[in-house]
């Protein structure tokens, strides 16, 4: 339904076996053309702006659920947070304002440029890198919170992606994903209506075969030791989005380690 317009995955390895995955350059080029529109709240990113508050709410609730009660002021203070597929920084900035030590990564250099420019203008200290999750994981970086919002439906190999997240997740860490369900309503709305009728997103943005069911994500992340044990749906309302029980189109899913890494 809502999308960060980001493709993720390059060369990596999984369980000792070399695996080559490539970014769709045509897709990157399409979204690079929108890079100067990220912070135009009346422009093509308007749906993402209206979607941001409920995503921030879900992410912070997931952190509270797994890590305990957060402070009223600067609730994410001292938490190392990774935003995978950060785009122009629409989620990274509110996370930083809540006190998080935020790193954002994206494979689209124009999006990273837009994110850096806006963070500087907003006097926010956010670290941005143009790289994939597995490349960052190879550096040995670790984070207390890792989220990927409207990204995983673009990933070439979700198992590789899950492995990269597991490699970077600290003990007692939190994982949050938001994405599109693989259902007939989601395909009708997120693919055909948004791309070809109301034209909110560029035609060809979504591949319905990459839409993913919650049960599939739970299974794939379980193989790397992460238990995704909470799921919620998102539905539009005037001026924004609400959390709902129905996960047929957009949903969020979150969790942490099945057991301590140590």
Q: What is the CATH number of the domain that holds 156?
A: 3.40.50.150
Q: Is residue 92 part of a domain?
A: yes
**How far is residue 157's CA from residue 71's CA, in Å, rounded to a whole number?**
37
pLDDT at 222: 98
pLDDT of residue 261: 56
Any idea what DSSP says for residue 65?
A: H
Q: What is the dihedral of CA 121, 126, 131, 137, to 10 degrees?
A: 180
- Tell me the C-alpha distance between 120 and 220, whole Å: 37
Domain membership flag for residue 152: yes
DSSP at 225: T
Q: Does 2 fall in a domain?
A: no
Residue 1 lies in a domain: no
Is 67 domain-assigned? yes
* 12 has a pLDDT exceeding 50: no
Classify strands 169-180 and 226-237 as parallel, antiparallel or unpaired.
Answer: unpaired
Domain count for the chain, please give it: 1
What φ, ψ does residue 87 adopt, rounded to 5°? 55, -135
Q: What local confidence, expressed as pLDDT, does residue 1 receive?
A: 43
| Cβ atoms 96, 116 nearer than 8 A | no
Rg of the chain (C-alpha set):
17
Give a yes or no: residue 5 inside a domain.
no
Domain-located, residue 234: yes
pLDDT band for position 17 (50/70/90)? very low
pLDDT at 16 exceeding the cut of 70: no
Domain coverage including residue 191: 12-257
DSSP letter for 232, please. E
* Predicted pLDDT at 206: 60
SS3 readout for 171-203: EEEEEEEEEECCCHHHHHHHHHHHHHHCCCCCC
Contact (Cβ atoms closer than 8 angstroms) between residue 190 and residue 203: no
Is there a domain that residue 26 lies in?
Answer: yes
How far is the C-alpha of 10 from the C-alpha of 159, rounded, in Å?
A: 13
Mean of the pLDDT values across residues 162-169? Answer: 97
CA distances from 207 to 64, 153, 193 (A): 34, 8, 14
For residue 176, CA distances in Å to 116, 179, 180, 239 come to 23, 10, 14, 24
Listed residue (176, 2, 6) closest to 106, CA to CA: 6
Residue 252: which residues within 8 A CB-CB, separation 6 or more? 55, 58, 176, 177, 178, 231, 232, 234, 243
Q: What predicted TM-score, i.e. pTM, was given to this entire model?
A: 0.84
Taking residues 5-33, report their average pLDDT.
Answer: 39
Q: Residue 210: is it exposed, middle or buried by C-beta count within 10 angstroms (0-12/13-18/19+)? A: middle
Q: Which of 42-46, 64-68, 95-99 has the lowest mean pLDDT?
A: 42-46
Residue 53 confidence (pLDDT) above 90: yes
């Amino acid at each position: 339904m809502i999308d960060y317009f980001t493709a993720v995955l390059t060369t990596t390895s999984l369980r000792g076996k070399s695996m080559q995955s490539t970014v769709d350059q045509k897709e990157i080029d399409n979204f690079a053309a929108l890079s100067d529109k990220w912070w135009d709240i009346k422009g093509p990113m308007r749906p993402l702006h209206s979607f941001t508050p409920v995503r921030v709410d879900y992410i912070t609730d997931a952190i509270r659920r797994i890590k305990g009660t957060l402070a009223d002021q600067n609730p994410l203070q001292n938490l190392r947070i990774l935003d995978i597929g950060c785009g122009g920084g629409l989620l990274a900035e509110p996370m930083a304002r809540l006190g998080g030590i935020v790193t954002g990564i994206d494979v689209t250099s124009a999006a990273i440029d837009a994110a850096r420019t806006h963070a500087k203008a907003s006097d926010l200290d956010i670290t941005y890198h143009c790289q994939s999750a597995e490349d960052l994981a190879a550096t040995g970086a670790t984070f207390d919170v890792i989220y990927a919002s409207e990204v995983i439906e673009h990933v070439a190999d979700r198992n590789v992606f899950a492995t990269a997240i597991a490699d970077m997740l600290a003990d007692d860490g939190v994982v949050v994903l938001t994405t599109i369900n693989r259902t007939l309503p989601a395909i009708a709305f997120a693919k055909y209506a948004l791309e070809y009728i109301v034209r909110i997103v560029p035609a060809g943005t979504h591949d319905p075969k990459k839409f993913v069911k919650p049960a599939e994500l739970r299974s794939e992340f379980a193989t790397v030791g992460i238990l995704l044990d909470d799921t919620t749906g998102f539905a539009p309302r005037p001026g924004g989005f609400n959390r709902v029980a129905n996960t047929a189109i957009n949903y969020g899913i979150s969790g942490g380690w099945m057991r301590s890494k140590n």
